[in-house]
Amino acid sequence: MIGLLNIAKPAGVTSRDVVDAVADLLPGVKCGHAGTLDPLATGVLVICLGAATRLISLVQEQPKQYVSVFLLGQRSNTDDVTGDVVESPLAAPPTCEQIESLLPRFHGEIDQVPPQFSAVKRQGLRAYDLARAGETVELLPRRVTITGLEVLAYEYPRLEMRIDCGSGTYVRSIGRDLGDLLGCGAVMSSLVRTRVGVFSIDTALPLDRLTADTIELASVPTSAAAAHLPQYHCTEAEQDDLRHGRRFVMQVPMPPDRHGRIAVVNDANELVAVTEHIAATNELAPRLVLRTETNPSEEN
């Protein structure tokens, strides 16, 4: 089996638990998830099956959308309600106008410090392991991209927001930093990942409906992993070239805005390869070739 699976992760289980549940139903099939959700979080968790596990990094590149609830007037060592929460009220709660006036500071490319309890590595260890051992770790800011922030509902202390962002963004850190700017702190109380690229919560398969049959029905073609890239539909001969590691000259020139990485798909809407467009010669050179059970001996 090869494909992608959109699972609706419930609260209280890890992303690894979901992968194990899928693997138990597909003996001998390699499985992996494309982006961790903490046990507190729910929503879209993309599972890659078989040879599609090579596409995990492609799925992770795709834009994400979250709906999160923050509780103002509180702080915690985990930046959410699972940690040691300390009350930090203000004399007067911030208004919605005050909150919205600060949101532009989080828009675009920003430097964000990950939470102390995160999977970021320092000194060869995960930050959460060091934090659990009582160590305070200085985590360096990381460049992340936030393309949208919207207040959905606000009644102090509860603030509900929709967040559109790129890979590597910590939603907990957004709430923490917003709370710091307001002077009252904030902790995340819930998080729903509503979208990863073309994968939406509306079409996600609930974990309690997971069976071998529903997996087969819900499996999505591998081309969805590269939906954020320009696509080129190849001929059988061009597909054969790529699967043997050969570049080929395209029959038509690429538009100026479609240079760089190109996803090549076949007539069955399967991803054949991610290629690099060589503008000087109008060639596509293979960079990641998706090998399937029908061509296990072929190399990139």
Q: Which residues carry out catalysis?
A: 38
How far apart are alpha carbons 276 and 291 in whole angstroms?
Answer: 18
Beta strands in 22-63 (DSSP E): 31-33, 42-49
261 burial type by CB count under 10 A (0-12 exposed, 13-18 middle, 19+ buried): middle
Q: Beta 261-265 vs 271-278: how paired, if at all?
A: antiparallel
Enter the tokens of residue 208.
């309690």
Q: Which of 267, 272, 258 minimizes the C-alpha distance to 225?
A: 272
Residue 196: how many CA atoms within 13 Å on its side-chain side? 31
For residues 209-230, one letter each, b for 16 or more C-beta atoms within 10 angstroms of the residue's C-beta and e for the rest, the string is ebeeeebeebbbebbbbbbebe
Q: Which of 193, 242, 199, 195 minimizes the C-alpha distance to 38?
A: 193
Residue 33: what are its φ and ψ, rounded to 5°? -100, 155
Cα angle vertex 88, ends 83, 94, to 5°? 120
Residue 95: what are its φ and ψ, rounded to 5°? -85, 165
Q: H helices of the chain, where?
A: 15-25, 56-61, 96-102, 127-132, 171-182, 212-218, 236-243
